[in-house]
Amino acid sequence: MTTARVGHRPPRSPAARSGAAGTAEEAEARALRRRRRLRSRLTALAFLAPLAVYLGAFYVYPLYRNLDLSLRDYTVRSFVAGDAPFSGWDNFRTVLDDPTFGPALRHTMLFTFVSIAFQYVLGLALAVFFNRHFRLAGTLRALFLIPWLLPLIVSASTWSWMFNSESGVINYALHLVGASPVDWLTSPDWALTSVVIANIWIGIPFNLVILYSGLQNIPAELYEAASLDGASAWQQFRRITFPLLRPVSAITLLLGLVYTLKVFDLIWIMTKGGPDDSSSTLATWSYQLGFGSLLPKFGPGAAVGNILILIALVFGLLYIRVQRRQEA
Amino acid sequence: MRKPRRTLITAIAALGALTSVAACGGGSDSAGSGSGSTGGTYTFWDPYPQFDASSAWGKLVAKCGTDAGVTVKRTAYDTTDLGNKALLAAQQGNAPDVMLVDNPVVSTLVEAGILNKTSDLGLDTASIQKNIIGAGTIDGASYGVPIGANTLALYYNKKVLSAAKVDPASVKDWASLTAALKKVRAAGKKGITFSAINTEEGSFQFLPWFWGAGGDLTKLNSAKGVAALTLWKDWVDEGYAPKDVLQNTQTTSWQEFATGEYAFGENGTWQLGNAEKAGFGYGVLSIPAQNGGSAPVPTGGEFVTVPVQKDTGRYDVSKKIVTCLTNSANLLATDTTLAYVAPTAAVQSEQVKADPALKPWIDAVASARGRTSGGLGTKYPVISQPMWTAVQSAVSGAKSPQEALDTAQSAAGKGTS
């Protein structure tokens, strides 16, 4: 991602070089050069084509379709007939006026930022911990990857069982320590917290792996020098680990952000956004509109999806800006 | 300044890719119609992924194709998935030749203009019970043949009730049911379980109580609707029903009842097979209305439909397949496999002859209503979603039943006006 910067080449201007005389030899050489350049350009194009086709078919076209869906007044009839009238920003207006929009946006932000904060802090702590190379560190680290390896449907269903208010193991544990049971998934006050807890658990391995690999790149001499200077473990972390880990942290946080913004399956499996929309995010709401009832509302559903993409894009641009500043 | 020429090339390449994609999109229209009307392959979709090709149902579908002189390619989808899949397929111009869909989806598909009228196809629906075919009837025309019907009732656990000294015959209205739940609770057992999940299943389970209070789907927030929702909320608040009803599907609700801890479980005809295996004595009560008598229950079950095709020559064979699937002998076999009640009086009487335990269910189906019946059609989904949301809000304690249903009514009113 950081290799995009290209050095300035001298300007190519054959006209300037050929200059005065236009001898036959020179012309032939020029033609040959041109042909060679054309061939190399065609080769370059051929190498480029698969990627371009892939990007077009799987990124540009779906995005275009989604935008198109959100700008037309689709009913089930016009969806099938393909003659939905253009309606401008009507779908966006409907969505923004909907009483669900405010809470959904708030839940999305809460879900994303609380999840990321905990995932990052816990992931970093574990990464530093495992960087000490004690015995069984490898095995333990592998065990920590399990949340990442499990299919989401499995982990989400498992969390949903554990959180069950009647027979869940978490309430049983609370009962053992004498606390009163909590309606994790069925109380509007707890539903969002519950899905955030599950999502943090799922996200830790990702943070752990990337931050751990970032730690490997910090030269050991720095720590040696620091300990010779008498720096405490905390000072070493504050002055060496954390600053040198900043680029890796930035990309981890950005990827986590984009990934968490669009989390849908986990919430859908655990609460379906309920009860009373108390855990609905933009992602689940978009699905709810498009596919959640017997009469699909594709237009508003696509509009919510586009708003979500826009939010992700803003954070992406923010990242690029921060990165530019760091490089400069 | 980053090599403008290369950027240009990329742009052109991307454009080329796009046009080729567009070309693919245009070409796929003809792919769906496949081979001509003589022989060939006919596509068939149903929502029964639990039955594979070797099951009785799978074999019946294949045989009906062979009898009509064609090969049937059967694909089974999840019920909730099938409606959207059908819409997408119709948009691409490759809808299946014959499709089994859940009854409330029929009106949506008709609204989309992708189903044929049974009268246009020349299918005979005269012998089908009016209230069962009602869910697939829009503006007086029917758009499918029901393969069978199911509905809801209260299963009860004989052991739990006798331990709590409750006589099931005493449960005649809401007050006596609540009194029974209180006794069961006092005896240290659990009261009742149902499904109040935020999907169509939740609405399906709530409707007997809503209608049993005399509620009207076009006025969700009437006093009658509020009474029904208050009943559910009070049960949960008093601990007569578990809080996790909010997450229960009808399957998980059944699993709770099957633990033997619960006195009552609201569930459907299709659980009869499991009830035999539950390992305790059970009985079935019809769901009581608020002031006594049986509450009207919603009909469940699928319709056999014939989606619109470009090649109208295919309808003759499709019709043969539908007729084969819905003739009396096959209906009996199919409805026995699915534990459904047959849609015709003749087959129903044979079902009772084979299994007298089905009698209360056949009576319940006879007094059941289609969710999309009575001119509601595609207004039903727009009402149903706010309704299940209201059930969730009130039972979870986020809003009072009145507030929850007021919100629901204004959302439904916005959608149906």
Q: How far apart are alpha carbons B22 and B397 in whole angstroms?
A: 51
Are A49 and B384 a contacting pair at CB < 8 A? no
Q: Is B86 on the interface with A (CB under 8 A)?
A: no
Using alpha carbons, select from A175, A292, A162 the residue that is nearest to residue B244: A162
pLDDT at B21: 39
Q: How confident is the model at residue B23 (pLDDT cuts 50, 70, 90)?
A: very low
Q: How confident is the model at residue B305 (pLDDT cuts 50, 70, 90)?
A: very high
pLDDT at B181: 96
Q: Is B33 on the interface with A (CB under 8 A)?
A: no
Which residue range forms the structural domain that includes residue B327? Answer: 41-146+300-366
Q: How many domains does chain B have?
A: 2
Are B398 and A272 a contacting pair at CB < 8 A? no
3-state secondary structure of B284: strand
Low-confidence ranges of chain A (pLDDT < 70): 1-22, 328
All residues of chain A having their beta carbon less than 8 Å from the beta carbon of residue B86 are none
Q: Measuring CA to CA, how many Å separate B130 from each of B144, B146, B293?
A: 13, 11, 22
In DSSP notation, A18-60 reads: H-S---HHHHHHHHHHHHHHHHHHHHHHHHHHHHHHHHIIIII
Are A80 and B389 a contacting pair at CB < 8 A? no
Q: How far apart are alpha carbons B295 and B363 in whole angstroms?
A: 12
B214's torsion region: left (phi>0), alpha (psi -120 to 50) or beta?
left
- What does the block give as tokens for B31? 């792919």
pLDDT at B417: 57
Cβ-nearest to B393 among A49, A75, A275 = A275
Please return the burial class of B188, using the count of CB atoms within 10 Å of its CB with bins 0-12, 13-18 and 19+. exposed
- Distance to chain A for B292, nearest Cα, Å: 31
Q: How far apart are alpha carbons B235 and B194 in whole angstroms?
A: 11
Same domain (yes/no): B284, B308 = no
Contact B9, A45 (CB under 8 A): yes
Structure confidence by residue, pLDDT tens digits, B309-318: 988 889 999 9
- What does the block give as tokens for A209? 């792996």
All residues of chain B having their beta carbon less than 8 Å from the beta carbon of residue A164 are 244, 247
All residues of chain B having their beta carbon less than 8 Å from the beta carbon of residue A82 are 91
Evaluate if residue B1 carries a pLDDT over 70: no
* Residues 6 or more apart in contact with residue B275 via CB below 8 angstroms: B155, B282
- Distance to chain A for B349, nearest Cα, Å: 33
Indicate whether A11 belongs to any domain: no
Same domain (yes/no): B245, B391 = yes
Q: Is B381 on the interface with A (CB under 8 A)?
A: yes
Q: Is B249 on the interface with A (CB under 8 A)?
A: no
3-state secondary structure of B375: coil
What is the CB neighbour count within 10 angstroms for residue B170?
Answer: 11
All residues of chain B having their beta carbon less than 8 Å from the beta carbon of residue A44 are 6, 9
- Distance to chain A for B79, nearest Cα, Å: 11
| Nearest-Cα residue of chain A relative to residue B408 | A276
Q: Is B20 on the interface with A (CB under 8 A)?
A: yes
All residues of chain B having their beta carbon less than 8 Å from the beta carbon of residue A77 are 111-113
Same domain (yes/no): B73, B185 = no
- What does the block give as tokens for B130? 């009016």
Same domain (yes/no): B134, B265 = no
Runs of H (alpha helix) within chain A: 14-18, 24-55, 61-70, 76-81, 90-97, 101-130, 137-144, 146-149, 152-162, 169-176, 191-216, 220-228, 233-236, 242-244, 246-261, 265-270, 282-291, 298-327
For chain B, positions 128-187, list CB contacts with chain A under 8 A.
none
Indicate whether B191 belongs to any domain: yes
Q: Mutate which of B7, B9, B18 to test chain A, going by most A C-beta atoms within 10 A?
A: B18
Are A166 and B9 a contacting pair at CB < 8 A? no
Which residue range forms the structural domain that includes residue A278? Answer: 99-327
Indicate whether B5 belongs to any domain: no
Are B9 and A75 a contacting pair at CB < 8 A? no
- What does the block give as tokens for B362? 């056949």
- Average pLDDT over all residues of chain B: 86
Are A49 and B13 a contacting pair at CB < 8 A? yes
| Nearest-Cα residue of chain A relative to residue B200 | A293
3-state secondary structure of B144: coil
Evaluate if residue B3 carries a pLDDT over 70: no
Structure confidence by residue, pLDDT tens digits, B254-301: 999 999 999 999 999 888 888 888 889 999 998 999 998 889 999 999
Dihedral sign for Cα atoms in the order A201, A205, A207, A212 = positive
Per DSSP, B134 falls in state G
Q: What ipTM was reported for this prediction? A: 0.78
Indicate whether A223 belongs to any domain: yes
Same domain (yes/no): B215, B285 = yes
Are B105 and A294 a contacting pair at CB < 8 A? yes
Same domain (yes/no): B163, B142 = no
Using alpha carbons, select from B291, B267, B288, B294 the residue that is nearest to residue B278: B267
Q: How far apart are alpha carbons B395 and B391 in whole angstroms?
A: 6
Q: How many domains does chain A have?
A: 1
All residues of chain B having their beta carbon less than 8 Å from the beta carbon of residue A160 are 247
Q: How far apart are alpha carbons B229 and B400 in whole angstroms?
A: 9
The whole-number average pLDDT for the span B199-207 is 94
Q: Supply the angle between the helices A298-327 and A61-70 in degrees, to the nearest 10.
A: 130
Q: Is B346 on the interface with A (CB under 8 A)?
A: no
Same domain (yes/no): B78, B203 = no
Tell me what percent of the residues of chain B surpass a pLDDT of 70: 90
| Nearest-Cα residue of chain B relative to residue A78 | B112
Indicate whether A21 belongs to any domain: no
Q: Mutate which of B102, B243, B310, B387 to test chain A, going by most A C-beta atoms within 10 A?
A: B243
pLDDT at B289: 93
Cβ-nearest to B399 among A75, A79, A276 = A276
Tell me what percent of the residues of chain B surpass a pLDDT of 90: 57
Same domain (yes/no): B179, B105 = no
Q: Mutate which of A98, A280, A295, A297 to test chain B, going by most B C-beta atoms within 10 A?
A: A295
Same domain (yes/no): B210, B336 = no
Same domain (yes/no): B392, B245 = yes
Indicate whether A22 belongs to any domain: no
All residues of chain B having their beta carbon less than 8 Å from the beta carbon of residue A81 are 113
Structure confidence by residue, pLDDT tens digits, B206-228: 999 999 999 999 999 999 999 99
Q: Measuring CA to CA, how many Å separate B234 from each of A114, A164, A306, B101, B329?
A: 35, 20, 41, 35, 47
Q: How confident is the model at residue B336 (pLDDT cuts 50, 70, 90)?
A: confident
Runs of H (alpha helix) within B313-400: 315-326, 328-338, 345-354, 359-366, 379-396
Evaluate if residue B15 carries a pLDDT over 90: no
Structure confidence by residue, pLDDT tens digits, A2-30: 444 444 544 444 444 444 555 778 888 88
Indicate which CATH number applies to the domain containing A192: 1.10.3720.10
Cβ-nearest to B396 among A55, A75, A275 = A275
Same domain (yes/no): B49, B87 = yes
All residues of chain A having their beta carbon less than 8 Å from the beta carbon of residue B239 are none
Whole-structure pTM value: 0.82
Provide the CB-side half-sphere exposure for B341 (13 A, CA): 29
Contact B94, B73 (CB under 8 A): no
Are A76 and B111 a contacting pair at CB < 8 A? yes
Same domain (yes/no): B352, B385 = no
The whole-number average pLDDT for the span B393-397 is 93
Q: Is B414 on the interface with A (CB under 8 A)?
A: no
What is the CB neighbour count within 10 angstroms for residue B65?
Answer: 23
Indicate whether A38 belongs to any domain: no
Are A165 and B395 a contacting pair at CB < 8 A? no
Q: Is B198 on the interface with A (CB under 8 A)?
A: yes
In DSSP notation, A166-219 reads: TT-HHHHHHHHTTPPP--TTTSTTTHHHHHHHHHHHHHHHHHHHHHHHHHHTS-
Residue A190 CA to its chain's centroid (Å): 25
Indicate whether A254 belongs to any domain: yes
All residues of chain A having their beta carbon less than 8 Å from the beta carbon of residue B16 are 49, 52-53
Are A75 and B111 a contacting pair at CB < 8 A? yes
Q: Is B244 on the interface with A (CB under 8 A)?
A: yes
Please return the burial class of B107, using the count of CB atoms within 10 Å of its CB with bins 0-12, 13-18 and 19+. buried
